[in-house]
Structure 1
């Protein structure tokens, strides 16, 4: 029998047994390793680095990539994993996204055979950590204006510049850095122990506290000719990787929303005011119904987007649809859930406000609401409103 409180439209019936089995496996990992510890990690601003190899052993790192120790899973399976991880915390899902959808994806899509063999197996196993350097202090939504530059010197390159909000950089073994060259924007595979490369964690965050974001500076970083990603020039390279990450986000946001909803549904059943449970009040039921509507719709958006991706028919504009809608709705769901909790909702004992805070970062990175709105507007009208 369908449980209308958890899966009103019986979306589970649209999933294969393999997809359901993967979901159970990742959900168990979240229940065992993330939920008991996330409050302390969040409060203390600690990323649990000991989970990295565990996630590697579960096949969660670069799971949608093929070969070189990667899982070769479908897009839908990757999305399901992202949803379950973000039900635990956005910071943990963000790690998997930066590692697999950004750093590993860049090397897998555009790297040389030597680069793939050198880095991907260790990254898939969680033995090596990667980061992705695109955003700069003065170039967020407009990466074409980046000032980081790579110059040819002799048989190699010299890299100078700065990047900001770079996930994992201070613990990474390798960075994929995008820089302007005389030939256009190119990607470079930079071992982080290279002289002149420095990553500094950004402190005092109100969001993504169980994650790491950094400032990177590069001063006369000398690289061999083999450091460049040979198979791409221009913004097509980083944008291709961003779309991989955006795809995971539209699933992950629904995981955070679902966890917030389930938290307050249980609370509303147990909390008594004026002689009856909160769940008996009409306004509480309206809030719960609105959450169910948007979670079910958002999950269907994610699933259809994944099926399009697996069939090779997904367009970047369609990813923008899911990222814009699902993150925006997830934030509203988490905020509404907090109101059902009353004053208790501002504590870490309950997850909705933590999720809402994290989702403010998710809403901003990999394209703001404004950028995805304009991408969709261009697709709808055929008229670009930004250069």
Structure 2
């Protein structure tokens, strides 16, 4: 490689590396006009002091749902008399945790450390909203996690019927889910179904030309000129389209850029894509693992490390390590299955009736490496 193609020690090919991080909200947000219109239409009443319409936003992972919410909420929060709060249900997966997050957003400080009853916490939130004549819009992002913990109906009931216990309270709810196997409406109890009649916004997988557009914008803002040749961008877009998850392409660009810098190269080459794709394509796996509790991580480790596939044999090892009972074990198995981390299927065993087999949905080495 010629000297002019080499980076000096204090140079970088990045203009702004944050552009390639998952939480970055791009200035340009293309190919989601219909979905943004649905959200804007539903939330417009809030700007007039009225209760907004509720929304159900669904679609596969990496299709722009969270970014769309952040874009609309950025505009909504600038309006007088409106507060927009996004709750990451992967982190806050109980009703109390959701309302604690709302409390922090409204009051700018934590609820009392000693803990207060849910009724009191809820009451303080409702009181603040009515006193200040503020309309609250809550986005429950990754709401599927509330379903996995059997907390969805109680949480939604409290939000949607808040005006009954606290007259004058105006709350709108957006549910965001990437679990296409989960029927959100059917999963709610009848008390909630009777009041949750949402507008619907579906986010389809981006096609290859849309992926090229979006990644081109990120490249322009995030890298210095001419860092990513057109043929390399085409390869990144093709690999991203294979996974169906835009976040894979964004993460792949960041990792490939770091790889190129490690070689002191001023451009990203095909070998940088080759060397980093295996890590980037597991970005959704890493995201799921981040939100797991210690017992959930232990069970996943047991399944990854042992040849035993029958649920009973896996439970024995799990119980030895955690001292948890079979009921809790079954709940964790069901959650890991819902998340797509394992496949739990019932099989007929000759002479022994039906048994449940547990298998990893990913390469065991990939899982163990990321569990640390």
Structure 2 length normalisation: TM-score? Answer: 0.29
- Choose between structure 1 and 2 for higher RCO, CA contacts under 8 A separated by at least 6 residues: 2
Larger radius of gyration: 2
Structure 1 length normalisation: TM-score? Answer: 0.28
